[in-house]
Structure 1
Amino acid sequence: MPLRRSAIVALSTVAAMAALAPGWAQGQPAPAWPTKTIRIMVGSPPGGPSDITTRLFAEQLQQRTGQPVVVENRPGAGNNLAAQVVAQSEADGHTLVLSPDTVVTTNPLVYRNMPFDPRKDLVNVSILAGFTQLLVCNPKVQARSVSELIALAKARPMTYASGGPAVPGHLATEMLLQRTGARMQHIPYKGPAPATLAVLSGEVDCGFLATPTVMQHVKAGKLNALAVSSAQPSPLAPDVPTLPKALNQPDLDITFKLVLQARRGTPPAVIAALEKHAAEIMQRPDIRARLQASDLTPVGSTSAQAEATVREDSARWEPVVKQLGLTME
């Protein structure tokens, strides 16, 4: 299973200690970087966890480097379109992407004809934050709990929305269905925002979607929240049960990470500069507060920590994806 929220918090603590270390990694001098505008690609529309985190990070990075930092949203193909831009860019640290870890952990297993190899073409610079998903349904769906939803899904055809194939919401729902033996038809959209609109309109019954994207609609009574995907309650929805508790399955803890990535081959000094900026930015009290207000857990890991964590999660997800038979062209 993906890294738990408690493990993310522990990694954040290690990152905070690393941020206090003086100088650049391995005593390297500060690199002549950046020398021009930095582009950070995001594989989802505005409003989701990736976009929220990227814009906060970009704002701070621009202040720290003195160079413009531009955020470009390029949704589609499970965040692959945004990552592909970086995979095919110059390896100079001026084109970056903030992706859910699924781009590296599961997309290579799901997408048969990817025009790049995220595991070979991208370097994981830093885990900026961790996040979970909130299971919501249209009020017309006669389910006020996960058990009621599962019973409905076993009794009649139902649908669920996600931000695209193999994205966190898709994986979280499929894991739920696998554990319970229920069935629901997957309806993918280009990002969490349009998926949320589909559930709001009743076009789709339910969905595991980003908490900051759907919480305003839950509070307004336009969506019913059934469970949060992690083992720890959501700060934004403390009264919503966790999925492990709702199903009495303590090991069912589904947490994801947001990873800053560069083109593989980017000079080590530039990677060191980026990871130092990431660690220090993610430890700022104001940034931490703003991320936590959006149900995101700030981290700011080193590149070595990010690489190790992504490798570990890739190994955990591989048998799950193969068992589910998730494939896309």
Structure 2
Amino acid sequence: MKAINKIMGAVLALGALAAATPALAEYPERPVRVVVTTVPGPLDAFARVVVKQVSEKLKQPFIVDNRAGAGGNVGADIVAKAPADGYTILFALDTTLTVNPSLYDKMPFDVNKDLAIISVPVTYSQMLAVGPNVKANSLADLVQLAKTQKMSYASGGNGSPSHLTMAAFLATAGLDMTHVPYKGTGASVVDVMGGQVDSVFAVVSGIWPQAKAGKLKPLAVSGNVRSPSAPDVPTVAELGYPGFNASFAYVIAAPANTPKEILQLLTREVQAAMASKEVQDLDHQADYSPTGLSPEASATWIRDMRKRWSEVITKAKISAN
């Protein structure tokens, strides 16, 4: 009887394996749609170089479809409502999942239930800089100025990483500055260089070349480690604000209920792509820090950052309007 039970168990196991294997063995058998939640720019460039590696390995086109709008909500909603078959995947700024739930009165999808997280592949910091005519050569100088006179800061828009980072710093330092939002970080940096606005937090790759040219004065970086591109610029935490860490990330996800085998395959291929020279070169150029996080750890990172930014948004009374 025991022998029969063992045989039956083996048969059932083989049957289950056979049932699961075809979906994985056939995937992908047609092109995969890659929804990128921004217009062409840093996220788009990152997505394209990663999916190029994945496409070559899996021998199917991975076609980028830029769907910007509502802080990434438009593109993320498309993926959240797509068939859970692995043929639609998402590349988004983490803020779509970590910031938007507190920024928007109503989300078009459930950030906790409608997406399966594949990876938070890289994080990146913001660099704080002031215009050349601002009389501050250090973070301490800027803080002192802000205590004695009206100061302004630019951002890429309400709820953007540059806005959130400065809001978090001002709350930490007990300061107040006038916020000047722009439609994009590039324009905000230009006006700080021109003296129309005093300061800005922006991605390192957007600040550092201008700083080296003498058009901006870099004061600090927002992450918990110094920038590989600008190792002489200290972190905010090093400059008297221990524990300060404003890091952002990219997120790769698929619709919830996508077959586990397909998610595992995509996870492996993304990890392999991250180890490629082409992606590593881009990471170095763009000042991205690869995380090596598993899907589970990536989901935890997103939940933790959602809680952190909710506190900042509430305290600073930031809205999407």
Q: TM-score range by the shorter chain?
A: 0.7 to 0.9
Deviation at 1:179, TM superposition (A): 1.1
Q: Give the aligned partner of residue 32 of structure 2.
A: 38
1:169 equivalent among 159, 162, 174: 162
Deviation at 1:76, TM superposition (A): 4.1
> Matched residues in 2 for 1:33 and 1:205: separation?
52
2:109 equivalent among 95, 116, 119: 116
Matches within 5 A, 1:250-329: 250-329=242-321
Q: Give the aligned partner of residue 147 of structure 2.
A: 154
Deviation at 1:230, TM superposition (A): 1.6
Q: Give the aligned partner of residue 145 of structure 1.
A: 138
> Matched residues in 2 for 1:107 and 1:224: separation?
31
Deviation at 1:236, TM superposition (A): 0.6
> Matched residues in 2 for 1:277 and 1:300: separation?
13
- Normalised by the length of structure 1, the TM-score is 0.81
Structure 1 residue runs without a partner (length 5+): 1-25
Q: Give the aligned partner of residue 20 of structure 1.
A: none
8 Å contact from structure 1 (residues 129, 297) kept in 2: yes
Aligned-residue sequence identity (percent) comes to 34
> Matched residues in 2 for 1:187 and 1:45: separation?
22
8 Å contact from structure 1 (residues 275, 300) kept in 2: no
> Matched residues in 2 for 1:189 and 1:138: separation?
17
Deviation at 1:285, TM superposition (A): 4.5
Letter aligned with residue 54 of structure 2: L
State the aligned residue count: 302
Letter aligned with residue 33 of structure 1: Y
The 1:204/1:251 distance shift into structure 2, 3 A limit, reads same
Letter aligned with residue 306 of structure 1: S
The 1:77/1:162 distance shift into structure 2, 3 A limit, reads farther
Matches within 5 A, 1:53-202: 53-202=46-195
CA offset digits 1:189-247 (Å, max 9, x no partner): 4443343334344443322111122222222222221111123211111111211122x
The 1:180/1:124 distance shift into structure 2, 3 A limit, reads same
Off by >4 Å, runs of 4+ in structure 1: none
Letter aligned with residue 41 of structure 1: V
SS in 2 for 1:120: coil
> Matched residues in 2 for 1:315 and 1:127: separation?
17
**Looking at both structures, which has the greater relative contact order when contacts are Cα pairs under 8 Å and sequence separation is at least 6?**
1
RMSD between aligned alpha carbons? Answer: 2.5
Deviation at 1:122, TM superposition (A): 1.9
CA offset digits 1:265-302 (Å, max 9, x no partner): 32222211111111111123452243123211123433
Greater displacement, 224-233 / 77-86: 77-86
CA offset digits 1:247-273 (Å, max 9, x no partner): x12211222222112222322222111
8 Å contact from structure 2 (residues 46, 282) kept in 1: no
> Matched residues in 1 for 2:184 and 2:33: separation?
20
The 1:42/1:149 distance shift into structure 2, 3 A limit, reads farther
> Matched residues in 2 for 1:90 and 1:195: separation?
39
Deviation at 1:173, TM superposition (A): 0.7
> Matched residues in 1 for 2:74 and 2:84: separation?
18
8 Å contact from structure 2 (residues 167, 312) kept in 1: no
Letter aligned with residue 30 of structure 2: K
Deviation at 1:136, TM superposition (A): 1.8
8 Å contact from structure 2 (residues 164, 312) kept in 1: no
The 1:67/1:195 distance shift into structure 2, 3 A limit, reads farther
> Matched residues in 1 for 2:171 and 2:105: separation?
23
> Matched residues in 1 for 2:27 and 2:95: separation?
29
> Matched residues in 1 for 2:320 and 2:133: separation?
31
Structure 2 residue runs without a partner (length 5+): 1-16
Letter aligned with residue 162 of structure 1: S
> Matched residues in 1 for 2:48 and 2:191: separation?
25
